[in-house]
Amino acid sequence: MNVPVGIGFKKTLISFFICSAIWMSSSVVFAGEADVLKVEISKIEADMYRFSVTVKHEDQGWKHYADRWDVLDEQGNILGTRVLMHPHDNEQPFTRSMKLSIPMHVKNVTVRARDSKHGYGGKEITVSLPQ
């Protein structure tokens, strides 16, 4: 037996599917890759620098969070890594610092962030070291 479905029900059902599709696509973008927003470097000694790096990532608990940032030389070699030990669900963006010895021949560095689900791939920043 066929039961006729009213136009109001069909519109409601279509609206539900459209809203669900929008919500699902926005949640994927919402928790994307970790981006480096800002890098501040101060020279402490001849080859010692303090890096303060601001990262943005929509952390979603322990299964998906920004878990580190790296400082790379011009050839892509990792000079240092700041491991982020926990999610920052309620602190976005967040800034963390570290001291790092950089070889004297290095003039520019790139800072990149990583998240526990996507790895690398977000916004990176390249900066010149202060002299």
CA 110: distance to chain centroid?
Answer: 15
Tell me the domain boundaries of the chain: 33-128
The predicted structure's pLDDT at residue 92: 82
pTM: 0.74
The single residue listed with the structure tokens 């059902």 is 13
33-128: CATH number: 2.60.40.150
pLDDT at 28 over 50: no
Q: How confident is the model at residue 27 (pLDDT cuts 50, 70, 90)?
A: very low
pLDDT greater than 80 at residue 48: yes
Cα–Cα distance for residue pair 85/70, rounded to 1 Å: 14
CA-to-CA separations, 72 to 35, 59, 89, 112, in angstroms, rounded:
15, 24, 27, 8
Identity at 13, one-letter amino acid code: L
How many CA atoms, within 13 angstroms, populate the side-chain half-sphere of residue 57? 36
